A and B are shown apart, each in its own frame.
Chain A
Amino acid sequence: MEMNEYLEVFIEESKEHIQSLNNHLLVLEKNPSSMEIINEIFRSAHTLKGMSATMGYKDLANLTHKMENVLDAVRNKQLVINSDILDVVLNAVDHLEAMVIDIANGGDGKCNVESLVAKLDLIENGETIVQDKSDSNEMDSSQNYNSSIVNTLDEFEITILQESEEKNYSNLQITIKLREDCLLKAARVYMVFEVLEQIGEVIKSVPTVTALEEEKFEHEFTVLLVTKEKTEHIKKKIMKVSEVDLVTIVSFSVEGIKKQVKQASGQIHQSAENSQLEVASTLEITAENNTSNSKTVINNKTIRVNIDRLDALMNLFEELVIDRGRLEQISDQLKHVELQETVERMTRISGDLQTIILNMRMVPVDQVFNRFPRMVRQLAKDLAKEIRIVVNGADTELDRTVIDEIGDPLVHLIRNAIDHGIESPEVRKKNGKSPEGLLELNAYHSGNHVFIEISDDGAGISKEKVINKAISNGVITSDQASQLSDKQVYQLILESGFSTAETISDVSGRGVGLDVVKNTIESLGGNVSIESELGKGSVFSIQLPLTLSIISVLLVEVEKEKYAIPLSSIIETAIVDKSEILSAHNKKVIDFRGKVVPLISIKEVFDVPRTMEKDEFYSIVIIRKGDKMAGLIVGTFIGQQEVVLKSLGDYLTNVFAISGATILGDGQVALIIDTNSLIK
């Protein structure tokens, strides 16, 4: 069967399941007796196993299967979950993730899992006596599919059936016969499974799914389905698949199976009839259980779209925006009323469209946040610290382009907080704090920005240490140090060539300091600020723009050239008389609201060809970078505009003080000034 088109879906869904495994396992650690969570984990593991077996990734399926066995033991209360077991299981999940990533990168998803499998086996056998029969059973089942499927059920499957029965699902044995002249048997099987999975969960199939995929069966196969649908509906739905000849559906109860096992075979129908009665009597109660169903309904409302398509849509829309600009100009010139009205209407609609498209590209920060609890747990273990992580506002949405970039800086800051911020349990106790450190991740919207805060209740930042270090590392001089405000002092730890860790640990402080964080965030048009109180903790706050693809700029003209300055970095604009410009050590400065602000001439920085006479007045744009300010001397202000940010292409990379380009309404390209690189 052609698998490629399913591969993408497989990878996406596997990632989701692995993430959900990670999340739930962590919750489980805190709450080891919660059946609900164990079931949730079980479900993810089970789906993952099924999917990987279908796709033919044996190692993946094998490892998941072993994991499932351990989880099953936990579920049946044969095993009590503890940190050690969880470590092994989490380790297994890591391997699963590595395999899935390998598959995503075009690999074959093979990985040596023997040692892990052995460990899982140990756990499983160490405290429980789960028979290995389940494995051999499954192997054999492909051969003896002629006998009743019920006989081949292993303990675990029976447990599932039992449980589903308790939850008022009905257990159905469905035998599907394909037409004798059916050519693409595997494809039909796939379609049937597709149908079945929509209405319930397939517990078992005879022959096995793999055998079915490889067409190793005659014309008939049997599956066990757990569902709430009515039998006749299921039958009708399966019959919709072409080339299906016959569908027989028998429902049965676990009780029946147990009897069945005793009596060998032959009397399925008897017990089936019994259970049918049971089903009928339980039907009335099913309404209560609808909560679990509503989840699937929500899932059905979303579709997966390749991100490339969204990008393409965005590009096309940008084109439209440019043309819209031209249309507006033309209609203004023509002053034709009807045309103007139409253009206005179009502008409004395309504005709405723009919002929708932008929203489509928004993803919750959860995508980045969700891996942190795992990381924090590991780090805390490595450093022998006790840390609780609290995540707030994980549903805050950010543009995908921003999400892709902020992962690493956040990891860096969290590592920093855990390593340098939160003290060891002994020290904490000595200082009268609870031994468990608190790491808080907050995300929220404010205006056109998204804020992400990483706060800890650790030692805080020692101002003196920072200053001493900065002086000894030559970041500042001692004269400068005395004049710095608290905030400025904290900012020093973001400077390059600075690292306060006294012992270099594996976790952070390998020389590549927090300046990497600062640079990355600033290149995204955001900034980092730090607040701290000695002994109480620190807060690292990151401010990020909502989107990177459309920005508000101030268009200015310098001689004959047009430049765009991002509004986010502008404080205000001013027009000053030539006489107001002062000179300080050969540098032009102005007195701006009581502050001395250095001036930068765009004309000189960009070597703009001189065409016009010198003016008596200077147009100045006051820009800022953190707490620093500068004035840009430009020619004239054109106005504020929303523009679509475009890159200069791969050929011109890292052009000084230019962060990109945009296309103006008249079709010309205007360069966007990177104000951050103009201020040192």
Chain B
Amino acid sequence: MTEVNDQEIKAIIFQLKNEEYAISVQQVGSIERMQHITRVPQTSEFVKGVINLRGVVTPIIDLRKRFGIEESEFTDSTRIIIVYIDGLEVGLIVDAAYDVIDIPQSAIEPPPEVIGTVDVDYIEGVAKVDSRLLILLNMKEVLSSKEVKILKSVENS
């Protein structure tokens, strides 16, 4: 992670299916309720479209689809987390976002080798806080240019 606080990382916790994920608060701009999303044709599957975020057209990614989790209906607790990384401004659809906690650096472990179907490169590590297991995301990888490249190849086909 960018900041090396010798003890703790402040992170926003959100939920996808039954698992809990964490992003550093420094990367989060705001958390929005679900709103009308304008579909952008011929982009990759996980790009839901764009929203009007206070005058700025912001692309939205469905994290469930990005991580290969099956889709579900949007509910009252569905949220859009706006993240800022390297000048990119992107919204992520998550099932729920409800908590900000401090994760001690010592509690973070590298991602386990066997983690099922999800690609390991966008997982920074796993942290066990109390009895909860949190998956720390590397947002740069989540939005990595690899995906953008895939996007482009789709467009050109």
Contact = CB atoms under 8 A, between A and B. Distances in A.
Given A651-B148, A658-B41, A668-B38, A663 B52 contact: yes
Given A319-B55, A661-B57, A663-B57, A651 B40 contact: no
A339 B62 CA distance: 42
Given A315-B55, A654-B155, A661-B57, A648 B50 contact: yes
B41 A649 contact: no
B88 to A, nearest CB: 5
A651 B41 contact: no
A314 to B, nearest CB: 11
Contact of B40 (A322, A648, A650, A668): A648
B151 interface: yes
Interface in A642-680: 646-658, 661, 663, 667-671
A94 interface: no
Contacts of B152: 653-654
B88 A649 contact: yes
B42 A661 contact: no
Contacts of A649: 50, 56-59, 88-90
A288 interface: no
B39 interface: yes
A608 B38 CA distance: 11
Contact of B148 (A653, A658, A669): A653
A318 interface: yes
B92 to A, nearest CB: 12
Contacts of B38: 561-562, 661, 668-671
Tier of interface size on chain B: 20 to 34
Nearest to A660: B57
B41 A663 contact: no
B50 A650 contact: no
A617 interface: no
A218 interface: no
Interface in B86-120: 87-90
Interface string B43-60: 100010111101111110
Contact of A652 (B36, B52, B56, B59): B59
B143 interface: yes
A652 B55 contact: no
A592 interface: no
Contacts of B36: 667-668
Contacts of A318: 55
Contacts of B52: 663, 667-669
A606 B41 contact: yes
Contacts of A608: 41
B41 A322 contact: no
Contacts of A606: 41-42
A651 B50 CA distance: 11
Given A606-B42, A668-B36, A668-B52, A651 B90 contact: yes
Contacts of B156: 656
A605 interface: yes
A671 B36 CA distance: 14
Contacts of B90: 649, 651
Given A650-B88, A651-B148, A652-B47, A669 B57 contact: yes
Given A650-B88, A651-B90, A656 B42 contact: yes
B73 to A, nearest CB: 16
A296 B56 CA distance: 42
Contacts of A663: 52, 55, 57
Tell which of A605, A608, A650 has the most Cβ of chain B within 10 Å. A650
Given A661-B57, A667-B52, A669-B57, A650 B42 contact: no
A135 interface: no
B47 to A, nearest CB: 7
A653 B58 CA distance: 12
Interface string B139-157: 0000100001001100110
Nearest to B147: A651
A101 to B, nearest CB: 24
Given A318-B55, A663-B57, A652 B87 contact: no
A651 B59 contact: yes
A669 B55 contact: no
Nearest to B41: A606
A607 interface: yes
A671 B51 CA distance: 11
Task: State the 5 A-B residue pairs at the shortest beta-carbon distance, nearest first.
Answer: A606-B41, A669-B38, A656-B155, A661-B57, A656-B42
Interface of B: 36, 38-43, 47, 49-52, 54-59, 87-90, 143, 148, 151-152, 155-156
17 contacts: A318-B55, A561-B38, A605-B41, A646-B57, A648-B40, A649-B58, A652-B40, A652-B59, A653-B148, A654-B152, A654-B155, A656-B155, A661-B38, A663-B55, A669-B49, A670-B38, A671-B41
